[in-house]
Amino acid sequence: MRLNKKVFVTGADGFIGSHLVEKLAALGDEVVAFVYYNSFNHWGWLEALPQDLFKKITIVPGDIRDAHHVQKAMSGCQVVFHLAALIGIPYSYHAPESYVQTNVMGTLNILQAAQSLGLERVMVTSTSEVYGTAYHVPITESHPRQGQSPYSATKIAADALADSFFRSFNLPVTIVRPFNTYGPRQSARAVIPTIISQLLSGEQTVQLGSLSPTRDLVFVQDTVQGFLKIAHSQKTLGEEINIATGQEISIQDLALLLISLLNPKAKLQSTADRARPEKSEVERLLGSADKLYQLTGFKPNTPLLQGLQTTIEWFKKNTHFQYKNHLYNV
């Protein structure tokens, strides 16, 4: 399923981005991996990739907010997967301007560079958080948008910009909307690494925020496969497409399942300091993958238990990454 194109990936140093870069390079595609500049010259999760893949990967440090550098780095590529974003919902309560600059202006920089350079495909990464608490399930792409956090509001704005460039300038854009992706390399701000890291550290009480919300959990390899299937199809141009399983699980049941797998004696505790503001909490996310299947023939197919076991095994082997289980990672 090789694209046979030179591919530009923003957010390549992140969770989903690193898996996407790894898959593209393994397939033989030439990848320009745009990573967030830092003085340590650290490439994020790309550091975990097998060394033999780097012959197909060019690392470009930069900042998605710098329009000139983005266009220069993207020059010569035919396809862009835009994943760079600030994603932590709790942190968006503290620093909303950062989210506007990165998620909205950063996306605008990608769109304008792609238009100027004449790229063949532009894949903009959205999030199921744009839907807010479900009015109806399963959530289709026509579901109303609700900005229940500054993070989700900026992603709604970024999606609208991407759609406007397709409609106004015929830019070959597709908006890809993964539901709650999980798996190896996920940051500690997400619920599954939070639970696993607490349990592996020997904690006897797992502390979480609200336990009642439900989520549609997609294993990261399925999310990556969805991205590639969408990129291969001309039918997906100008579309917004969910990547979802069509199944949901509450945070409480998810935590209890992980407890049963790792330490059945552990207890579960909901604490107010980890909870979102009441009106900001998204209570239910259950996505429809019908459009994805109709346009690409693909549906995520990794069973939740299998995906969780794979994730647990990765965490057991990678404790040196020092997940700070004793802290609430905003």
pLDDT score for 275: 83
Q: What pLDDT score was predicted for residue 326?
A: 60
What is d(CA 284, CA 262) in angstroms, rounded to the nearest whole number?
26
What is the predicted pLDDT for the residue at 272? 86
Q: Which helix (H) or strand (E) holds 207?
A: strand 205-208
C-alpha closest to that of 29 among 50, 11, 55, 52: 55
Q: Is the dihedral of CA 123, 143, 302, 250 positive or negative?
A: positive
User: What is the predicted pLDDT for the residue at 254?
Assistant: 98
Which residues lie below 8 Å from residue 4, measured CB to CB, with a gap of 6+?
A: 29
Q: Are strands 180-182 and 173-178 parallel, antiparallel or unpaired?
A: unpaired
What DSSP state is assigned to residue 118?
Answer: T
Query: Does the N-terminal peptide bond of residue 50 adopt cis geometry, omega within 30 degrees of 0?
Result: no
In sequence order, the β-bridge partners of residue 6 are 30
Structure tokens at 119: 């790229």
Task: For residue 190, count CB atoms less than 10 angstroms from its CB and return exposed for 0-12, middle for 13-18, buried for 19 or more.
Answer: middle
Total number of residues shown for the chain: 330
Helix boundaries (H) for the chain: 15-27, 67-74, 89-94, 96-99, 106-117, 150-169, 191-200, 220-232, 251-262, 290-296, 304-317
Q: pLDDT tens digits, the chain, 330 residues: what are they?
A: 799 999 999 999 999 999 999 999 999 999 999 999 999 999 999 999 999 999 999 999 999 999 999 999 999 999 999 999 999 999 999 999 999 999 999 999 999 999 999 999 999 999 999 999 999 999 999 999 999 999 999 999 999 999 999 999 999 999 999 999 999 999 888 999 999 999 998 889 999 999 999 999 999 999 999 999 999 999 999 999 999 999 999 999 999 999 999 999 999 999 888 888 989 999 999 999 999 999 999 999 999 999 999 999 999 998 655 666 666 666
242: left (phi > 0), else alpha (psi -120 to 50), else beta?
beta
pLDDT (0 to 100) of residue 330: 64
